Amino acid sequence: MNGSKEAETRMGKVPEWRSVRRDWLMHSMGYSEESVKRPYVAVVNSWSEMNPGHYHLRELAQAVKRGILMAGGTPLEFNTASICDGFVVEKRLVLPFRDLISFSIEMMLKANSLKGAVFLTTCDKNVPAHLMAAARVNLPSIFVTGGPMLPGRYQGRDVVCCTDGRPMIGKYMAGEVTEEEFREFSLTSHGSIGACGMMGTANTMQCLAEAMGMSLTGCASVHAVSPAKYRMAEESGRKIMDLIAKDIKPSDIMTKQALSNAVRILMAIGGSTNGILHLLAISHEAGRPLGLDAFEKLSHETPFLCDVKPSGKYTLRDFDEAGGVPVLMKHLADVLDMDVMTVTGKSLGENLKGIKPTESDVIRSRKNALRQDGGIIIIKGNLAPEGAVIKQTAFPESRRQHTGRARVFNSIQFVERALNDGSLILNDEEVLVLKNQGPRGAPGMPETHIPPVFYARGLSNMLIITDGRTSGSTTGPMVLHIAPEAAAGGPLAVVEEGDTIKIDVENRRLDVLLTDEEIKRRQKLLQPRDFEKDPFVTGWIKQYAESVGSSSQGAIIV
């Protein structure tokens, strides 16, 4: 009888058996009874030796874990894949990595008993992938972005890798610089580990993570090699425990108003066109979908204030020293929603209370804006019924109104090789049309860099239109993300060699000078893409090609 009562008492004390089993597994790894009683906090780390943007995150994670332990949590770190566009040889793989990373994080966070998560990430596709996963899983979350690299120094001046690098390769090909000068640039153009030091996609996305309230104030531009980055990481570790205690989740932070703030910052910094693609996807996962029309509207209302490469002349170090995102947001306080919640547990307005809107050549005041509208615009026309994207701050005045003969290709690599060997001749009054570069058509929407041979051949002002993307480090007259894409039967698919293309940036138009009847006639003759004959389209890429949506909606998996 007594044994039976004792058994009943014990039954009342035993927690759910799965949690008992989990605690035993934790003990097997050396965790104490005290550790397993504390809230488990994921440290989602994209550390890798494969690229400079993530090279330092293993050490940065130690600072995060210090903060979590100090605030009463038990940190549990796991790795995610990370990718650097510069390292990847097959560029079609890059955008599909965004969704693969996002799904893998989602599964890890959902599968384990976690109270919150700290995300460590830096580069182009990685930051949006982590933000998408955070929005989808909706645990209390905070981001520690890895920060920019220092600029390089070449012949007494600051240089940044990609933006200054491609023209340098062109000069080398044209015989304008010596072998030794080229070697010196190669060794000095990257000043440290971290994200490439211009307002390319990586630093754009770090700024947008801060702008939407998902990282601490000032985090985006604190450089990878700065001690301040490690202090901020520790602070983020402590802060996640506050977010858990107050049950503040990404859904409380990534609101429609916060996402609109991020769009405005994208316009003000002259950020990467990839920022539009990723914000569309993030907003979808957050359940507050943006549309391209919202970007165009906010671009009209938001001035371009940051004279930072590739749109301007300064580096990310200059941007950071001028005050970074907090000073920029202070300049834009009258058009931003200051009541939105952030990961500090305070509103954006409270975070910026002590920030002074100091004027500089790097971050301008509104009255001294570089432009009164934003760095990126959306255009439409009979070639882009759903829309297309232009980074107008990197777009030369000579091409804002232009009419030219179409030269049509399916590969920028083919164009580059043919220009190199002399089998192709182009002139910069023509329009280079690159088809089948979209999310489905490539598949994978590879970046269309302006090849160095364009600089060597005097073609750097040639208008390029494509359903693909470009690097955030690129300058030049490019019309990107044309939707619907060619592979989906969009009008771009029917453009033929010799057709006349007309662009009018001021009136937001991109057209092929064909009648509607002729466009429809040609569309009826289109043959669907046969992926079965493409050896590239296997495994995940095959799944991606079959399920990816339009770039006008963020190229999300649908």
- Which CATH number fits the domain that encloses residue 341? 3.40.50.2300
pLDDT band at 13 (very low <50, low <70, confident <90, very high): low
The confidence band for 173, taking pLDDT boundaries of 50, 70 and 90, is confident
In the beta sheet, which residues pair with residue 557?
A: 548
Q: Are 390 and 504 in contact (CB under 8 A)?
A: no
In terms of domains, do 249 and 387 share one? no
255 in Cβ contact with 340 (< 8 Å): yes
End-of-domain residue from the set 190, 214, 238 = 190
Q: pLDDT tens digit string along 241-268?
A: 999 999 999 999 999 999 999 999 999 9
- What predicted TM-score, i.e. pTM, was given to this entire model? 0.94
Cα(450)–Cα(346) distance, integer angstroms: 43
What pLDDT shows up at residue 59? Answer: 97
Query: CA 249, CA 134: separation in Å to the nearest integer?
Result: 9
Is a pLDDT exceeding 90 seen at residue 107? yes
pLDDT at 176: 92
CB 98 within 8 A of CB 282: no
Both 287 and 343 in one domain: the answer is yes
Spatial contact of 479 and 465, defined as CB atoms under 8 Å apart:
yes
| pLDDT tens sequence across 380-409 | 999 999 999 999 988 899 999 999 999 999
In this predicted structure, the answer to whether residue 429 has a pLDDT above a threshold of 50 is yes
d(CA 224, CA 316): 11
> Tokens 């489905």 identify what position?
440
Can you give the pLDDT at residue 255? 98
315 shares a domain with 300: yes
Closest CA to 149 of 217, 95, 222: 222
Write a three-state SS string for 375-420. Answer: CEEEEEECCEEEEEEEEHHHCCHHHCEEEEEEEEECCHHHHHHHHH
Residue 16 maps to a domain: no
Per-residue pLDDT tens for 440-477? 999 999 988 778 888 889 998 999 999 999 876 677 89
In this predicted model, what pLDDT tens digit does every residue of 185-211 receive, in sequence order?
A: 999 999 999 999 999 999 999 999 999
Residue 71 in any domain: the answer is yes
Reported residue count of the chain is 558
Residue 4 predicted with pLDDT over 80: no
pLDDT at 8 over 80: no
- Residue range 220-243, pLDDT digits in tens: 999 999 999 999 999 999 999 999
Do 45 and 136 fall into the same domain?
Answer: yes
List 409's β-bridge partners, or say none.
434
**Is 19 part of the annotated catalytic residue set?**
no
Q: How far apart are CA 435 and CA 492, in angstroms?
A: 7
Q: Take residue 485 and report the two structure tokens written for it.
A: 């894409």
Count of structural domains within the chain: 3
Percent of the chain clearing pLDDT 90 (strictly above): 84
**Residues of the chain with pLDDT > 70: what percent?**
96
pLDDT digits (tens, 9 = 90+) for 314-335: 999 999 999 999 999 999 999 9
Supply the mean pLDDT for the chain.
Answer: 93
Among 307, 339, 367, identify where a domain stops.
367
**Of the residues 332, 367, 402, which one is the last residue of a structural domain?**
367
Report the range of poorest mean pLDDT among 18-32, 104-118, 491-505.
18-32
463 is a domain residue: yes
- DSSP string of 489-540, one letter each residue: T-GGGG--TT-EEEEETTTTEEEES--HHHHHHHHHT-----GGG-TT--HH
* Interatomic CA distance for residues 42 and 134, integer angstroms: 12
Q: Residue 233: CA atoms inside 13 Å, Cβ hemisphere, count?
A: 29
Distance CA 154, CA 158 (A): 6
- Spell out the residues 6+ positions from residue 76 whose beta carbon is closer than 8 angstroms to its own: 40, 41, 42, 43, 112, 114
Q: Is residue 13 part of a domain?
A: no
* Number of helices and strands in the chain (H, E): 21, 14
Higher pLDDT, 475 or 174: 174
- Cβ atoms of 223 and 263 closer than 8 Å: no
For 8, residues 6+ apart whose C-beta sits below 8 A from its C-beta are none
Cis peptide bond prior to 484, omega within 30° of 0: yes
Specify whether 130 is located in the same domain as 228.
Answer: yes
* Same domain as 411, residue 310: no
Report pLDDT digits (tens) over 510-527: 999 999 999 999 999 998
Q: What's the rounded Cα separation, in Å, for the pair 229 and 45?
A: 15
Rounded Cα gap, residues 209 and 321, in angstroms = 19
**Token representation of residue 547:** 């399920």
Residue 308 forms part of a structural domain: yes
Per-residue pLDDT, 441: 94
- Token output for 291: 């549309």
Q: Using the predicted structure, report yes or no on whether residue 5 has a pLDDT greater than 80.
A: no
**Closest by alpha carbon to 131, among 215, 219, 209?**
209
Q: What is the pLDDT of residue 471?
A: 79
The two three-digit tokens of residue 424, written as one number: 């192709």
Cα separation, 540 vs 551, in Å, equals: 19
For 351, the token pair is 């975070």
Euclidean distance between CA atoms 96 and 110, whole angstroms? 21
Element (H, E) at 310: none
**CATH number, residue 444:** 3.50.30.80
Nearest to 86 by CA among 34, 154, 149: 149
The reply to whether 347 and 485 lie within a common domain is no
Q: Is the pLDDT at 15 greater than 70, yes or no?
A: no
Alpha carbons 301 and 373: distance in angstroms, whole number: 6
**pLDDT given at position 165:** 84
Phi and psi of 402, rounded to 5°? Answer: -155, 140
- Do 346 and 203 lie in a common domain? yes
| Nearest of 492, 499, 229, 501 to residue 384 by alpha carbon | 492
The answer to whether residue 469 sits within a structural domain is yes
Whole-angstrom CA distances from 102 to 81, 195, 281, 482, 543 are: 10, 20, 11, 25, 15
Is the confidence at residue 509, as pLDDT, over 90?
A: yes
Domain that holds residue 128: 30-151+191-367
Tell whether 467 and 397 lie within a shared domain. yes
Same domain? 213 vs 347: yes
Q: Are 154 and 188 in contact (CB under 8 A)?
A: yes
Confidence (pLDDT) at 538: 93
pLDDT of residue 300: 95
Does residue 22 belong to any structural domain of this protein?
no
Q: Are 251 and 287 in contact (CB under 8 A)?
A: yes
- Give the whole-angstrom CA distance, residue 438 versus residue 440: 6
- Is the pLDDT at 28 greater than 70, yes or no? yes
Please say if the pLDDT value at position 551 is more than 90: yes
Closest CA to 462 of 433, 435, 496, 430: 430
Q: pLDDT value at position 260? A: 98
Q: Is position 135 within any domain?
A: yes
Residue 90 structure tokens: 């097959």
Residue 1's pLDDT band (cuts 50, 70, 90) = very low
Q: Residue 14: is its pLDDT beyond 60?
A: no
Mean pLDDT, to the nearest integer, of 1-26? 66
Residue 316 and residue 266 in one domain: yes
In angstroms, the CA 453 to CA 427 distance is 13
Catalytic one of 221, 471, 473, 552: 471
Quick one: 454 and 308 in the same domain? no
More confident residue, 5 or 216: 216
